[in-house]
Amino acid sequence: MPFVSIRISGSATKDQKAGIVADVTQSLVQRLGKNPAAVQIVIEEVSTENYGAGGQLLVDRDAPKTAPNTPAQEDAHAEPSR
Protein backbone atom coordinates (compact mmCIF):
# COMPACT_ATOMS: atom_id res chain seq x y z
CA MET A 1 0.00 0.00 0.00
CA PRO A 2 1.55 3.34 -1.02
CA PHE A 3 1.95 5.97 1.66
CA VAL A 4 2.78 9.47 0.45
CA SER A 5 3.81 12.29 2.75
CA ILE A 6 3.72 15.83 1.35
CA ARG A 7 4.96 18.91 3.21
CA ILE A 8 4.18 22.40 2.00
CA SER A 9 5.32 25.72 3.40
CA GLY A 10 2.47 27.98 4.37
CA SER A 11 -1.05 26.78 3.77
CA ALA A 12 -3.37 25.60 1.04
CA THR A 13 -7.14 25.64 0.73
CA LYS A 14 -9.20 22.51 1.21
CA ASP A 15 -9.91 22.46 -2.54
CA GLN A 16 -6.20 22.71 -3.36
CA LYS A 17 -5.38 19.85 -0.99
CA ALA A 18 -8.20 17.74 -2.44
CA GLY A 19 -6.74 18.33 -5.90
CA ILE A 20 -3.27 17.27 -4.74
CA VAL A 21 -4.69 14.08 -3.21
CA ALA A 22 -6.63 13.28 -6.40
CA ASP A 23 -3.64 13.99 -8.67
CA VAL A 24 -1.13 11.98 -6.64
CA THR A 25 -3.55 9.07 -6.28
CA GLN A 26 -4.21 9.03 -10.03
CA SER A 27 -0.49 9.11 -10.76
CA LEU A 28 0.15 6.07 -8.55
CA VAL A 29 -2.76 4.23 -10.18
CA GLN A 30 -1.50 4.99 -13.70
CA ARG A 31 2.24 4.55 -13.16
CA LEU A 32 2.35 1.75 -10.61
CA GLY A 33 -1.02 0.04 -11.10
CA LYS A 34 -1.99 0.67 -7.48
CA ASN A 35 -5.53 0.33 -6.19
CA PRO A 36 -6.76 3.89 -5.50
CA ALA A 37 -8.39 2.71 -2.27
CA ALA A 38 -4.96 1.62 -0.99
CA VAL A 39 -3.23 4.97 -1.61
CA GLN A 40 -2.76 6.99 1.58
CA ILE A 41 -1.65 10.61 1.47
CA VAL A 42 -0.81 12.98 4.31
CA ILE A 43 -0.39 16.71 3.67
CA GLU A 44 1.49 18.61 6.34
CA GLU A 45 1.38 22.40 6.32
CA VAL A 46 4.53 23.89 7.80
CA SER A 47 4.35 27.45 9.05
CA THR A 48 6.83 29.72 7.29
CA GLU A 49 7.99 30.69 10.80
CA ASN A 50 9.04 27.06 11.30
CA TYR A 51 10.82 26.54 7.98
CA GLY A 52 14.15 27.89 6.88
CA ALA A 53 16.06 27.80 3.61
CA GLY A 54 19.25 29.49 2.54
CA GLY A 55 20.10 30.45 6.11
CA GLN A 56 16.91 32.29 6.98
CA LEU A 57 13.30 31.68 7.90
CA LEU A 58 10.88 31.78 4.98
CA VAL A 59 8.71 34.29 6.84
CA ASP A 60 11.67 36.70 6.85
CA ARG A 61 12.79 35.92 3.31
CA ASP A 62 9.32 36.46 1.86
CA ALA A 63 8.44 39.56 3.91
CA PRO A 64 7.85 42.71 1.88
CA LYS A 65 10.98 44.80 1.64
CA THR A 66 10.76 48.38 2.90
CA ALA A 67 13.07 50.95 1.41
CA PRO A 68 14.86 53.39 3.70
CA ASN A 69 13.55 56.94 3.68
CA THR A 70 15.02 59.08 0.97
CA PRO A 71 14.62 62.85 0.63
CA ALA A 72 11.90 62.33 -1.96
CA GLN A 73 9.94 60.20 0.53
CA GLU A 74 10.20 62.66 3.42
CA ASP A 75 7.34 64.96 4.28
CA ALA A 76 7.09 67.53 1.50
CA HIS A 77 5.69 70.09 3.96
CA ALA A 78 8.45 69.78 6.54
CA GLU A 79 10.95 72.56 7.06
CA PRO A 80 14.22 71.92 5.24
CA SER A 81 16.99 70.78 7.56
CA ARG A 82 19.88 73.17 8.06
Q: Which residues are identified as catalytic? A: 2
Task: Tell me the CA distances in angstroms from 19 to 1, 3, 47, 52, one per residue in order.
Answer: 20, 17, 21, 26
Helix (H, G, I), strand (E, B) or coil at 28: helix
Helix (H, G, I), strand (E, B) or coil at 62: coil
